Amino acid sequence: VRTEPADPIPPTVAWADGAVRLVDQRRLPGTLAFVDCRSVSDVVAAIRNLTVRGAPALGATGAFGVALAAAAGADEHEVTAAAASLRTARPTAVNLAWGVDEVVRAWRAGGTDAAIARAQAIAAADVAANRALGTHGAGLLPPQASVLTHCNAGALACVGYGTALGVIRAAHEGGRVVTVWVDETRPVLQGARLTAWELDRLGIPFRVVVDAVAGSLFAAGSVDAVVVGADRIAANGDVANKIGTYSLAVLARAHAVPFYVAAPTTTVDASITSGAEIPIEVRDGAEVAGAEGARTIPAGARVHNPAFDVTPARLVTALITERGVLHHPDASGIAVLLATA
């Protein structure tokens, strides 16, 4: 009997003894620790304070959050209120609202057991989707590829395996040589802290660079492809992702380097026609004003701290999903993709 080797990265989100167990991403890379959320307000706080982050991980966490309310015996009014607070804990990643709504629907149809089962199915489907999109995307990378990625779109941003890092991981597992440029990703450092931690655990060679290095890497011919994740994709293929993604897409176009977006179809929001309708989270300026208590800007200086930007579809070479690769995404291609089972 062939068994899968143990995954070096534990599930980001899991249902454990009636609690929602999360990897505490605030403590990485120093410490791998877990947090058990036992109430909906615990889950909402964990989403807001970035204990858990990344679009697919937020989808599963929102799903388990509703299951938690159901398991506590919540009635219709309480489940509706729980769903509303979970859905709005962060605004940009559409997976969060999607995961919440799915489990509310399951609870209304079948009660607590159905709610828990649906949340568990969402978590399992996430890992399966990422493995599938990883396989689809790996074939796009040239031999001996140097790939630039931004933020963390790895296992930690999902339930497991990862989207952008899923593509890199699948290529690596398939015997291809891939080396990764890891953008530090100011101001929360998801690249430096989380992507680097994952690649280290997976044995995939990488180097961390500050975000401002990207231009010189392209100019030197040192980037063969950009692969990033997504928080929300509009019906026309515009992509919201971590702030700084748009700049990379412009650089990639200027240097004729392919720019790939890897995301499950649950990240597509067919209800909005373009990226202009995507709500962009603006986070606390304290994230920019200093690190670990040390202030790096003058006292009283104002900060603008948008967490995401929008890359127009015309700059996306291909969208890599669990259903296959959509080259040059646009409204008609996205519609066909969504209609494909």
173: left (phi over 0), alpha (psi -120 to 50) or beta: alpha
44 is an interface residue for ligand MRU by CB under 6 A: no
Asked about 231 being catalytic, the answer comes back as: yes
CB 101 within 8 A of CB 86: no
52 is an interface residue for ligand MRU by CB under 6 A: no
- Would you tell me how many other CB atoms lie within 10 Å of the CB of residue 205? 12
Q: Which residue has the tokens 């339930």?
A: 159
Between residues 79 and 156, which has the closer beta carbon with respect to ligand MRU?
156
> Of 230, 248, 251, 337, which one interacts with ligand MRU (CB under 6 A)?
230
Between residues 140 and 239, which has the closer beta carbon with respect to ligand MRU?
239
155 is an interface residue for ligand MRU by CB under 6 A: no
> What type of residue is 236?
N
93 is an interface residue for ligand MRU by CB under 6 A: yes
Q: How far apart are CA 275 and CA 234, in angstroms?
A: 6
> Of 12, 190, 236, 317, which one interacts with ligand MRU (CB under 6 A)?
190
DSSP for 95-109, written as a single string: HHHHHHHHHHHHHHH
Contact residues for 122 (Cβ-Cβ < 8 A; gap 6+)? 59, 60, 63, 99, 102, 103
CB 228 within 8 A of CB 97: no
The piece of 8-16, 77-85, 206-214, 224-232 that touches ligand MRU (CB under 6 A) is 224-232
Between residues 185 and 317, which has the closer beta carbon with respect to ligand MRU?
185
137 is an interface residue for ligand MRU by CB under 6 A: no
Closest distance between ligand MRU and the C-beta of residue 242, in Å?
Answer: 3
Give the tokens for residue 230: 């997504």
DSSP assigned state of 270: T
> Of 153, 170, 234, 278, which one interacts with ligand MRU (CB under 6 A)?
153
Show contacts with ligand MRU in window 232-261 (CB under 6 A). Answer: 241-242
54 is an interface residue for ligand MRU by CB under 6 A: yes
> What type of residue is 180?
V
Active-site pick, 126, 183, 211, 231: 231
306 preceded by a cis bond (ω within 30 of 0): no
* Residues at the contact surface with ligand MRU, assessed by CB under 6 A: 53-56, 93, 151, 153, 157-158, 163, 190, 229-231, 241-242, 307
List, by residue number, the catalytic residues.
Answer: 231
